[in-house]
Structure 1
């Protein structure tokens, strides 16, 4: 199977493609997700980090294998990670709307998160508005299909420098984080900008990647705000047209500037 992100036109409309993607670590499938068949190496790399399967320095090359019914992304992690692999093993064919579907235990769904360093990075209203608008310009698949989410990385010196798209909001974020890791970028030096609601798994992934700010056009859930408060993550939303900080608002203000 080898499909582009768009492979069909129905009733005059291009349709976003989604295929099963098996994420295989040390020979064992940890997740089977429905995803857009692009940037799979980034996807697997980001997933390994944000799901706590490996530290950044433990993630090596990703081999993508085309199978009759989908794609396999294969990684090999240090053997001492075997226990973590077993603890986080998923048995899922995940619907695109839920990043937690199929988790084997309730404990894993609400796993403890590390506490982010305070840092000096801050974001003004103008910068957040500019970042959200810039991300909108980096969504070619959305422009073609109107059916995908996006995640982008904003840096105080260069604006939004990188973006990834996927039918799943959490997949798009994993792809972005994986792309940042593969490029050698430091996620802690910027903000993650997304087009989806700020749900629990989006907060978990941002914190695991070390991002101090997560900004979206959509609103957070109540539990996402609780997790962000505990982990030291700043959540900012433009839901309803007005930018609002829901947690750790010291990093976000009208007069703030990135430092």
Structure 2
């Protein structure tokens, strides 16, 4: 079944029209606002459900690929043989067919995880796994100017049609110096948006080491983990990082740029990838 045929099975639009009453400047008026849809999205492997995420019903093939990568189910998109989208009531079942060896490995992993899971993160069974080591990207060479960082952030803000329509979703983009923003994905969940972006980058034939991940959200440890698994050496965000995200990025050799607003930004780890053009303030 082709991607177009699969998508034709999905009858849930990414947005919905919501009637509203607006009070502004002392006046009351009736209106209709476009809001993002949020639905259960199940990822099934070999016919068995693995995880259910709440997300935006768009770019689901990218989502499945990126989720499978960042959850350690696959190492490359080539290990996915097929993706089929099925609507199940008010949700969507994303059925992923893996290469036989990966299917066997996941089946063994499920047996090992049998029983109640106490941690809130999908697919893990211990606190240690929640703060698992991430790939080392310290050897990935990249040099950015402050203008590159400003351009990446502003380009992402201008390339989010769903957010422009709803003002209620997160965005994640992949920026390559000298080329610009080559991919953007959106979702009500910031982790989902980054998984979708990872899938889009890999399915396009690019590698994470080729560019920079830029996001519209705060930087949690999961955002650092996912960017490192993709292989990107730089993560840029418009908001601030958590302390654990900083420690994780530092250990992974990742350059963490946060609070990117206009031409201003703050670098929390590995500033050697930034070619500063201004004098250093030592006051």
TM-score (norm 2): 0.82
Task: Give 3-state SS (helix, strand or coil) of 1:62's partner.
Answer: strand
Closer, same or farther: CA 223–131 of 1 in aligned 2, 3 Å: same
Q: CA deviation at 1:26?
A: 2.3
In the alignment, structure 1 residue 19 sits paired with structure 2 residue 36: no
Structure 2 counterpart of 1:165, from 186, 189, 211: 186
Q: CA deviation at 1:85?
A: 5.7
Q: CA deviation at 1:70?
A: 0.6
Cα displacement string for residues 198-233 of structure 1 (whole angstroms, at most 9, x for unaligned residues): 101101100111111110001110001111111111
**For residue 96 of structure 1, what is the aligned residue in structure 2?**
none
In the alignment, structure 1 residue 182 sits paired with structure 2 residue 203: yes
What is the rounded CA distance, in whole Å, between the counterparts of 1:231 and 1:154 in structure 2?
Answer: 20
In the alignment, structure 1 residue 248 sits paired with structure 2 residue 270: yes
**For residue 221 of structure 1, what is the aligned residue in structure 2?**
242
Equivalent pairs, count: 250
Q: CA deviation at 1:66?
A: 1.2
- Can you give the 5+ residue segments of structure 1 that lack an aligned partner in the other structure? 93-98
Matches within 5 A, 1:47-86: 47-56=67-76, 57-81=78-102, 82-84=104-106
In the alignment, structure 1 residue 45 sits paired with structure 2 residue 65: yes
Task: Give 3-state SS (helix, strand or coil) of 1:123's partner.
Answer: coil
What is the rounded CA distance, in whole Å, between the counterparts of 2:16 and 2:193 in structure 1?
Answer: 19
Q: CA deviation at 1:43?
A: 0.3
What is the rounded CA distance, in whole Å, between the counterparts of 1:75 and 1:59 in structure 2?
Answer: 7
In the alignment, structure 1 residue 208 sits paired with structure 2 residue 236: no
**For residue 137 of structure 2, what is the aligned residue in structure 1?**
116
Alignment root-mean-square deviation, CA: 2.4
Q: CA deviation at 1:135?
A: 0.5
**For residue 134 of structure 1, what is the aligned residue in structure 2?**
155
Kindly indicate whether the alpha-carbon contact (under 8 Å) linking 1:113 and 1:208 is maintained by their aligned counterparts in 2.
Answer: yes
Kindly indicate whether the alpha-carbon contact (under 8 Å) linking 2:185 and 2:194 is maintained by their aligned counterparts in 1.
Answer: yes
Closer, same or farther: CA 48–111 of 1 in aligned 2, 3 Å: same
Q: CA deviation at 1:146?
A: 0.8
Task: Give 3-state SS (helix, strand or coil) of 1:201's partner.
Answer: helix
Range with greater deviation from structure 2 (5-14 or 127-136): 5-14
What is the rounded CA distance, in whole Å, between the counterparts of 1:166 and 1:80 in structure 2?
Answer: 31
What is the rounded CA distance, in whole Å, between the counterparts of 2:54 and 2:240 in structure 1?
Answer: 24
What is the rounded CA distance, in whole Å, between the counterparts of 2:248 and 2:83 in structure 1?
Answer: 31
Identify the structure with bigger relative contact order (alpha carbons < 8 Å, sequence gap 6+): 1
What is the rounded CA distance, in whole Å, between the counterparts of 2:55 and 2:124 in structure 1?
Answer: 18
Greater Rg over alpha carbons, structure: 2
Q: CA deviation at 1:69?
A: 2.9
What is the rounded CA distance, in whole Å, between the counterparts of 2:54 and 2:108 in structure 1?
Answer: 22
- Can you give the 5+ residue segments of structure 2 that lack an aligned partner in the other structure? 1-9, 21-31, 279-283
